[in-house]
Structure 1
């Protein structure tokens, strides 16, 4: 099989990112800074004259808004997919961690302990989330074998890809950044994922890390 190369992008900033509030499947739009980041991102990709075969995007609005600027600059149609949505955070959605600690301490504790099979009361477990994301990523890799593609999605999605490619399990704390609108390069060949370059922010003024 030929190598498939991915440029993975977390959406631009939202007001809830700034408030450190968990969004999950809730459809929060970009704020003004996030829209600016989307333009900076699109300009950087155009300036580097990178060639992409396709643009695959989460169907949530914050990802589609980010990808829209790229689509216009690079002339690539948006292909949206529910499989690229953020993790469903169940009872945590719409809350900050401080609010969760106060109001739903049992859910907060199991989340912080990274119980990989806990579904956050109606959401997705870490194990189920990783299975969803990596199944779809492999489908994209095989569909675009030998090509270079763009994927615009969410912090949790990028975390699952990084953990898979680096061989890191789900139970340990995250030790790598996932900034809004940064460039993250990975490749897939013969069933193996490999990270090339992660969290390239050289085109941005400043960017928030994932929760």
Structure 2
């Protein structure tokens, strides 16, 4: 079966300050670039590079930088950029911290915190719209490489929300409700494609950056309890 490895981008300053990023085009910070270097080492040490049939990336620069940095010492072509692999659009909240968003858009934030799959922030997209976009892109990628040699893999560089949508799909979790899985920066998330559907193989492997500064944690389950 074809292996698809889904990778969240490296750290940005917006990650560090827990700001809504969405479609905002924010570059990696120094830690994110170091994480991407470690990702390149993990690719080499784990025997991934020689199995890569193709690579894809969100067209937002934090994902593109992660892909380019981690693949710069390989003979593979540059990753194919796809806007369908972007993070969920958070509309008017992009660029704001949670507290800033709640102060400026209290009613919208209260509605968003219900985590209803069909609710979309002003100028944003709902979780259901986002899920359909992401799964459509991942399925198209897998189908495009269904005839690749046995033991090949495809790398997909993207965002935390994209990883969450894949996790929910693989584990049968509902689209409504807060995020439940850990999504570390530059974590490796392994899926297998059997020609019809994806299967979970391994998830959130971030051992290659375990000795770097602790990553900021974004836990949607704790937001409801904040005053």
Deviation of 1:74 (Å): 2.6
1:191: Cα distance to partner?
2.6
Unpaired stretches in structure 2, ≥5 consecutive residues:
220-227
Alignment of 1:159 onto 2:164: yes
In the aligned structure 2, how far is the partner of 1:158 from the partner of 1:190?
20
What is the aligned partner in structure 2 of residue 123 from structure 1? 124
How much does 1:101 deviate?
1.4
Comparing 55-64 and 139-148, the one that deviates more? 139-148
Q: 1:194 to 1:208 in 2, by over 3 A?
A: farther
Instruction: Give the whole-Å Cα distance in 1 for the aligned partners of 2:171 and 2:193.
Output: 12
Query: TM-score scaled by structure 2?
Result: 0.88
How much has 1:210 moved relative to structure 2? 4.8
Relative to structure 1, the CA distance from residue 33 to residue 155 in structure 2 (aligned partners, 3 Å threshold; closer, same or farther) is: same
Deviations along 1:91-130, one digit per CA (max 9) or x if unpaired, are 1111111111111011111211012122200111111000
Query: Could you tell me which residue of structure 2 aligns to residue 112 of structure 1?
Result: 113
Query: Shift of residue 179 of structure 1?
Result: 0.5
Paired residues for 1:138-177 under 5 Å: 138-145=139-146, 146=148, 147-177=152-182
Rounded to whole Å, the distance in 2 between the matches of 1:83 and 1:172 is 23
Q: Distance in 1 between matches of 2:159 and 2:217?
A: 11
Instruction: Report the more deviating stretch, 132-141 or 113-122.
Output: 113-122
CA apart distance, 1:70: 2.3
Say if 1:20 and 1:96, in contact at 8 Å, map to a contact too: yes
After superposition, the CA RMSD in angstroms is: 1.3
Query: Is the 1:5–1:186 contact (alpha carbons within 8 Å) kept by the matching residues of 2?
Result: yes
Displacement after TM superposition at 1:193 (Å): 2.0
CA distance in 1, matches of 2:169, 2:217: 19
Instruction: Render the CA deviation track for 1:65-110: whole Å, top value 9, x for unaligned.
Output: 0000222123222211111111111111111111111110111112
Partner of residue 44, structure 1: 42
Residue 186 (structure 2) pairs with residue 181 (structure 1): yes
**Partner secondary structure for residue 35 of structure 2:** helix
Q: TM-score, normalised by structure 1?
A: 0.94
Residue equivalent to 1:4: 2
Q: Which residue of 1 aligns with 2:12?
A: 14
Query: In the comparison of the two structures, how many residue pairs are matched?
Result: 209
Over residues 43-65 of structure 1, what are the superposed CA-to-partner deviations in whole Å (9 max), with x where a residue is unaligned?
Answer: 11012222110110000000010
| Runs (5+) with no aligned partner, structure 1 | none
Equivalence map 1:87-102=2 (5 Å) = 87-102=88-103
